[in-house]
Chain A
Amino acid sequence: MLSLTWFLALSAILFAIGTIGVLTRKNAIVIFMSVELMLNAVNLTLVAFSSFMGDIHGQILVFFSLCVAAAEAAVGLAIVIAIFRNNLTVDITKIKLLRW
């Protein structure tokens, strides 16, 4: 069987890609998708540890984190719509009410 390290390495790569996406992109929706990517990477870590330790509690935690992700997606996309309605753009470099 594959060792645990491979799964953790895959998860780390996906998390880093998500981080780069959050920090470099300008489109608010793409940034939000990168956040989902990072959430998924962490879920993969939890499932891998849960499976390799024969302990089910990690998978229960992933289930709850999926619920939180669904709630977060609904609220976050509502915020994106509200931002678009006020600024007519989702480009975060053009939204600078609180920046200089």
Chain B
Amino acid sequence: MVTYLFFLLATLAVGSALATIMSRSTVNSALFLVLNMVSLAGVYLLLKAQFLAIIQILVYAGAIMVLFLFVIMLLNVDDEQTIFSKKTFRNAFGFLLGGIVAGQLFYAIAGYTGVLPDISAEMTSVGTVEAIGKTMFTEYLFPFEVTAILLTVAVVGALFIAQRNPKSQN
């Protein structure tokens, strides 16, 4: 059952990822990316990481992709006429480099010798909100607080970059 579910979700994730980089319309790309995020959240659930699955849907599919769609709406970008039709050197190089990256990763995975520890049944349920909260608010309290500063800086920086330059108005 879990195996079938994994292969279903994996097919969905890979297919929507391919559709993201190949669809002509930017809005379609964004919506396929949402599908990709949701199927990855399903994979997280299979890995018993319930908290991260919910966070993935809330933050990625909810917040970040809405931001993407708003920017696409603001910019009013036309559909691209040519994505892969022109067989330029750049495209060929991109595919070649992507293939090399995939080959390297698969080589690393194939060379991986099992060093997994034997874990008991209760250790696999590490992904609950309780377990993550316990670790985050004791051991990782300082990084958690620094994250707040990071997000504040990001918001201020985004506002500063995106605002209209007053000098260019006249």
Which residues on A are within 8 Å of B, measured CB to CB?
1-2, 4-10, 12-27, 29-30, 32-34, 36-37, 40, 43-44, 47-48, 50-57, 59-60, 62-64, 66-75, 77-82, 84-85, 90
- With A63-B55, A64-B143 as known contacts, state yes or no: A7 contacts B47, CB within 8 Å: yes
Q: From residue A85, how far is it (CB to closest CB) to chain B in Å?
A: 7
Q: From residue A21, how far is it (CB to closest CB) to chain B in Å?
A: 3
Q: From residue A24, how far is it (CB to closest CB) to chain B in Å?
A: 4
Contact A40 B64 (CB under 8 A): no
Interface string of B72-89 (1 = CB under 8 A from A): 101101001001100000
In the complex, chain A residues whose CB is within 8 Å of the CB of B17? 13-14, 17-18, 37
- With A67-B147, A75-B157, A81-B71 as known contacts, state yes or no: A44 contacts B43, CB within 8 Å: yes
Interchain Cβ contacts under 8 Å between A and B, 13 examples = A15-B105, A20-B97, A23-B94, A23-B95, A37-B17, A51-B127, A52-B116, A55-B126, A60-B135, A70-B59, A70-B64, A73-B64, A77-B71
In the complex, chain A residues whose CB is within 8 Å of the CB of B10? 6, 10
Answer yes or no: B154 CB below 8 A from chain A CBs. Answer: yes
Contact A36 B151 (CB under 8 A): no
In the complex, chain B residues whose CB is within 8 Å of the CB of A50? 49, 126-127
Q: Which residue of B lies closest to A93 (CB)?
A: B90
